[in-house]
A = this chain, B = another copy of it.
Amino acid sequence: MPDGSQKKPSRIQKRNRRVILDAALEVFSRHGYRGSTLDQIATEAGLSKPNILYYFDGKEAIHVELLAKLMSEWLAPLEEMDPDGDPQKELLGYITKKMEMSRAYPRQSRLFANEIIQGAPRMQPHLQSGLKPLFDAKCDLIRAWMDAGKLARMDPAHLILSIWAITQHYADFEAQLQVLLPDPQTAWDGAESHVAFMFRKLLTP
């Protein structure tokens, strides 16, 4: 009997929870929390609404679980930035990785954007406890690199925000991109090389 069950999940449970979360990601990432309905999620998942509520405590529980998963997955590349590596290489590697993630997982990106635009009502604690310390640490690291003359001097916080802004934008504003640059393949390739060029020039002392 799932919901908030402690026992190890059965085969069916694992499959259906995955199917539901995937459907919910699709729906929530498009319409935000309030704009999404359990019926939409149920249809997308190919299950009945009560069946979905058999696996999750409710609409909010699904959303919370998606956000928790999101945080850990999207913070990883930032964590991996190595203090002992070459500063330019580390930062550009991080930027490239983020662009690839935006390209590969635009739904996660939109889910996050929706939550933040809404005022982060269900995520603020996660931001405080998860994102903030890591952000501060990486700001310190970047500042140290700048002090060592390895990077052009600038505000590390706003540097990181710029990176997030641009990578996030290419995922979230896909609909606009498709109007302005009709060929998706060319657009993404152009985006990746432009972003690499841009930050290389910016970071070079």
* Residue from the list B157, B161, B165, B194 in contact with A155, Cβ < 8 A: B194
Interface size class of A (residues with CB under 8 A): 35 or more
Stretch at the interface among A62-70, A79-87, A125-133, A140-148: A125-133
Among A133-171, those with CB < 8 Å from B are 135, 152, 154-155, 157-159, 161-162, 164-166, 168-170
| Interface status of A30 (Cβ within 8 A of chain B) | yes
Binary flags per residue of A68-93, CB closer than 8 Å to B gives 1, else 0: 00000000000000000000000000
A198 contacts which chain B residues (CB < 8 A)? 154, 162, 202
B158 engages A191 (CB within 8 Å): yes
A61 contacts which chain B residues (CB < 8 A)? none
A98 contacts which chain B residues (CB < 8 A)? none
| Interface status of A197 (Cβ within 8 A of chain B) | yes
Known: A113-B173, A152-B201, A162-B198. 5 other contacts (CB 8 A): A124-B179, A127-B176, A158-B190, A164-B173, A166-B166
User: Which residues of A line the B interface, CB within 8 A?
Assistant: 29-36, 110, 113-114, 116-120, 124, 127-128, 131-132, 135, 152, 154-155, 157-159, 161-162, 164-166, 168-170, 172-173, 175-177, 179-181, 190-191, 193-195, 197-198, 201-202
